[in-house]
Amino acid sequence: MQYQPMLLGGQPYRAALCAGCNYQTPHYHKELEIFYVLSGQLELILENQPYTVTEKEVVLVQSMKQHTIVESKEDNLFLSLEIGPFFLGEAYEMTSKLLFAPPLCTRNARTELLFSMLDEIVEELRVNAPESELIIRGDLYKITAQLQRLFPIAENLSPHKQAYLQITAAEELLRNYYYTDITVSDAAEKTGYSVSSFCRIFKKVYGKSFHALLNETRLEKARYLLQDTTLSVSEIAQKTGFPDTKSFCRLFKKQTGMTATAYRQGNR
């Protein structure tokens, strides 16, 4: 692992569209880093935890956190942003203490403003007009302010917030290992709760059981594979963590109202 020095060159920040990426040496730096996947997916490791970031998802890397990109194919496209003390000035101290838990973000009502600003940066990088730099700078300041609204400072967490952040470790387990035979006991152990406490808190936070969210995640991945690959239904069931094809087909029809084969034919 190596320390990467503060950004140098003509700009006090980094904003770039990247197509594919070779393996990086694990590193850390003072800058906050944001990866926004526009197409394909990005495989990275953050503090020894693997993450798969898919299309229209964002991963947030805290200041001084070890990370590395493991794989991004040539036809993949992602936005990479780095914002540090040289750009933020006095606002850096507070921003560097933000706790991104979990570090993966999807687009929803809570994060809509953040994603819209990222989309605007993508557009300005593509346009590359004389005024684009000013627009990008403005968006970076607004993104920083939005992150301060969305995430807590690590040292000021309330007991309720600590419990919430503790339980989200189970969501990370689910997102990264949905295709394996993970159990409620595995998730409870990951969060440090007993099974009974875990089940109660998880349902309070997410509005559904761990098993229900696990099945939703598996079905979401299965729909993607049905649309974009030629894998057979049985292969997809195996790759998304279902114990057998029959269980997969039964749940798929229950949730979507159609068979997996019919879904594939209607979404090609």
Instruction: Give me the sign of the Cα torsion angle 222, 223, 229, 235.
Output: positive
Mean pLDDT across the chain, nearest whole number?
A: 86
Q: Hey, what domains does the chain have and what are their CATH numbers?
A: 2-155 (2.60.120.280), 157-268 (1.10.10.60)
State residue 267's pLDDT score.
Answer: 77
Do 66 and 47 contact (CB within 8 A), yes or no?
A: yes
The mean-pLDDT minimum among 37-51, 62-76, 181-195, 230-244 falls in 62-76
Show Cβ contacts of residue 115 under 8 Å, excluding neighbours closer than 6 positions: 56, 58, 107
Task: Decide if pLDDT at 66 tops 90.
Answer: no
Average pLDDT over residues 62-82: 84
86 against 158, higher pLDDT: 86
Alpha-carbon gap, residue 43 to 58, rounded angstroms: 12
Q: Residue 3: which pLDDT band, with cuts at 50, 70 and 90?
A: very low
State residue 252's pLDDT score.
Answer: 93
Q: Which two tokens stand for residue 105?
A: 């973000």
Alpha-carbon gap, residue 172 to 6, rounded angstroms: 30
Task: Decide if pLDDT at 191 tops 90.
Answer: no
Q: Residue 23: which pLDDT band, with cuts at 50, 70 and 90?
A: low
Q: Which two tokens stand for residue 134?
A: 């000013």
61 phi/psi in degrees, rounded to 5: -110, 120
Q: Residue 226: which pLDDT band, with cuts at 50, 70 and 90?
A: very high
Highest mean pLDDT among 134-143, 181-190, 201-210: 134-143
Alpha-carbon gap, residue 87 to 10, rounded angstroms: 12
Task: Decide if pLDDT at 56 tops 70.
Answer: yes
State residue 157's pLDDT score.
Answer: 57
State residue 128's pLDDT score.
Answer: 94
7 against 129, higher pLDDT: 129
Do 25 and 68 contact (CB within 8 A), yes or no?
A: yes
User: How far is C-alpha 28 from the geometric centre of its chain's CA atoms?
Assistant: 19
